[in-house]
Amino acid sequence: MAVNPELQAELDRLGRSLRERLVELITELTPGADLTALFLDVPTVVEWREPPLYHYAALFRGMRPSEVPAAELAARAAALLGAAGWEVRTWREESEGRPVCMVGGSRERVTLKVRTGDHTSSVMFEGETPALPLSEPREFQWPEPIRTEETVTPGFVLCYECDGLGACSYCGGRGWSLGGDGLRHGCRGCDRRRYCLICRGAGQLAFSELSPYQLGYYRDRDPG
């Protein structure tokens, strides 16, 4: 995949914005947290489309100071996000019958969530960027066959499955194909191996080693 520098730069910019805000929230709300456990170094694939979609995402657990109630910590989180220009919303949920304070923030389709409750000292921080492609869509170019009638080895015949292609004749050597849902699905023709399973990628088969069943494909063929 040829990465488009502009698309990569935009996703990286959003990733830096996410990290900056997470670091501020974690530092201010859960002092002493180990920020080396905040993994936001590289984007990951969120959907195997064509081209694939990537995002930056993180899940981090900090410890709420014992003297700060959950509602107060949530209010602080909302104030920090609001001061930074983020859209903020707060709500309450239940976890096993116990109230949980939730704070959500969004900006440029980057989303953050802070979760805390008086029943636990843990504070959960979640964040992710929008999912973006890192390359432009391009039409798949079917590979050229590695064997033809003119280049087949003496005593061999073109593979009856791939007709000399060598690569899987179902997916063209990609190991996957696009489904109706727009997602990549592993090729059933080669089990993601990319090459033809009959000739093992050779594009040809030794005529003398063909089984009676395989010979049925060459009734009108001269083995050469």
pLDDT tens-digit series, residues 208-223: 999 999 999 998 765 4
Give the per-residue pLDDT at 31: 95
Percent share of the chain, pLDDT over 90: 86
- By residue range, what is the domain housing residue 108? 5-133
Q: Is residue 129 located within the same domain as residue 147? A: no
Residue 9 confidence (pLDDT) above 90? yes
d(CA 189, CA 41): 36
Domain check: are 115 and 218 in the same one?
no
% helix, strand, coil for the chain, step of 5: 25, 30, 50
Q: Flag whether pLDDT at 224 surpasses 80.
A: no
Single out the residue of 80, 6, 22 nearest to residue 56, CA to CA: 22
> CA triplet 50, 55, 57: central angle to 5 degrees?
150
Question: How much is the pLDDT for 133?
Answer: 95
Q: What is the pLDDT of residue 178?
A: 86
22 and 96 share one domain: yes
- The count of structural domains within the chain is 2
Do 57 and 36 share a structural domain? Answer: yes
Provide the pLDDT for residue 1.
63
Burial class (CB in 10 A: 0-12, 13-18, 19+), 92: exposed
Q: How confident is the model at residue 139 (pLDDT cuts 50, 70, 90)?
A: confident
Please compute the mean of the pLDDT values over residues 131-149 and round it to a whole number.
Answer: 92
Q: What is the pLDDT of residue 221?
A: 66
Do 120 and 187 belong together in one domain? no
Mean pLDDT of 178-185: 88
Find the CATH number of the domain harbouring 16. Answer: 3.40.1000
92-116, pLDDT tens digit by residue? 998 888 999 999 999 999 999 999 9
On whether both 92 and 153 belong to a single domain, the answer is: no
Domain boundary among 133, 159, 182: 133
Which residue do the tokens 């064997």 mark?
147
Same domain, yes or no: 25 and 129: yes
